[in-house]
Each structure stands twice: as C-alpha cells, then as structure tokens.
C-alpha cells in the first residue's frame, strides 16, 4: 500500500492549477480554452438568471444557484482523468462542509458580539455570509461532481480491464 504524501498532493495540485490557466497554442489548447470560456459563460448566465428569479424561498432560483456551482466545479475538474482526484474532491467536500458550517456559526456569533462596532460587525457579517454560501452551495456541488466523476472513471476502468 502506498503512503500518502501531502507534498506530492500539493505538487499535483500546483501542476493542475498551472495547467488550468495555461493553454498550448495547438488545437488541444484552443479546444480547452473554448471549453473554459463556454463553461464560464454558462456559469455567468446561471448566476444572473438566479439573481433575476430570486433566491430567497424560491426553488427555481436555488436550483439555478446549484447548477451554477456545479458548472464552476466542472470547469475546474474537466481535465481530470484519475479517479483518485475525484475521490479527494469528494472527501474534501464533506470535510469542507463541516468546517464551513462551524465557521459560519462562529462568525455569526462574532457578528452578534460585535454589533456595537459598525465596521467590525459588517466584516464579520460578510464572513458568515461567505462561509454560509460555500457550505450550502459549493460543498454539495463538489460532492456531487466528485461522486459522479469517480463513478464514471470506475466504470471506464472496469471496461478497460474487461477489454484488455
């Protein structure tokens, strides 16, 4: 069994981020760039339509927000070809959900405690809203993308083993 190495994970993440923002000047690079801009356009359209429809107690607006979050995560993970990366995303989304819910509650409490200091209260409120949005929209979307991606790559791996 291989040992887990945080250094190797961070280096793999670094190359993944570098590859996300750099495009080759060949047909493959142009195709990747076009995919990224299409996904960014879809993300922007979904966010704008969610804002126009309204999110507060409105199921279509909430669904549009989840679709926007899924589109954002798919834009990042569209070049992943290893099941391990999707499983890491799956685990990180579960851990991130717990962490961001706790942080949301901590900053909500700090917002109440600092209500007499205007600037600090607004800063704490911004943090608790940001952590709420991450916990409620991004973490479940990352969980879904991680689960679906790992299942699809597992099926592809089994087909490859059966054929070869």
82: left (phi over 0), alpha (psi -120 to 50) or beta: beta
Exposure string over 150-159, b if 16+ CB within 10 A, otherwise e: beebeeeeee
Rounded mean pLDDT, 107-131: 93
Q: What is the pTM of this model?
A: 0.81
Q: Which domain holds residue 107?
A: 81-164
Do 103 and 60 fall into the same domain?
no
Do 86 and 100 fall into the same domain?
yes
Question: CB under 8 Å to 31, separation ≥6 — which residues?
Answer: none
Do 88 and 132 fall into the same domain?
yes
Give the pLDDT band (50/70/90) at residue 13. Answer: low
Of residues 164 and 99, the one with the higher pLDDT is: 99
User: CA-CA distance, 160 to 149, in Å (whole number)?
Assistant: 16
Question: CB under 8 Å to 12, separation ≥6 — which residues?
Answer: 85
Do 55 and 134 fall into the same domain?
no
Do 85 and 162 fall into the same domain?
yes
Question: Tokens 């339509």 — which residue?
Answer: 49
Per-residue pLDDT tens over the stretch 14-63:
665 666 566 667 777 788 889 999 999 999 999 999 999 998 889 999 99
User: Which of 79, 104, 133 represents a domain boundary (last residue)?
Assistant: 79
């Amino acid at each position: 069994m291989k040992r887990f190495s945080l250094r190797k994970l961070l280096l793999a993440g670094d190359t993944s981020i570098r590859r996300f923002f750099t495009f080759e000047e060949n047909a493959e690079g142009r195709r990747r760039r076009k995919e990224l801009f299409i996904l960014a356009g879809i993300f922007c359209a979904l966010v704008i339509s969610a804002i126009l429809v309204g999110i507060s107690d409105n199921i279509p607006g909430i669904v549009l927000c989840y679709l926007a979050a899924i589109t954002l995560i798919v834009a990042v993970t569209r070049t992943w070809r290893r099941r391990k990366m999707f499983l890491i995303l799956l685990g990180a989304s579960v851990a991130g959900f717990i962490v961001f819910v706790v942080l949301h509650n901590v900053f909500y409490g700090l917002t109440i405690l600092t209500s007499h200091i205007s600037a600090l209260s607004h800063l704490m409120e911004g943090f608790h809203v940001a952590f709420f949005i991450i916990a409620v929209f991004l973490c479940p979307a990352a969980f879904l993308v991680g689960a679906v991606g790992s299942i699809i790559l597992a099926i592809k791996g089994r087909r490859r083993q059966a054929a070869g």
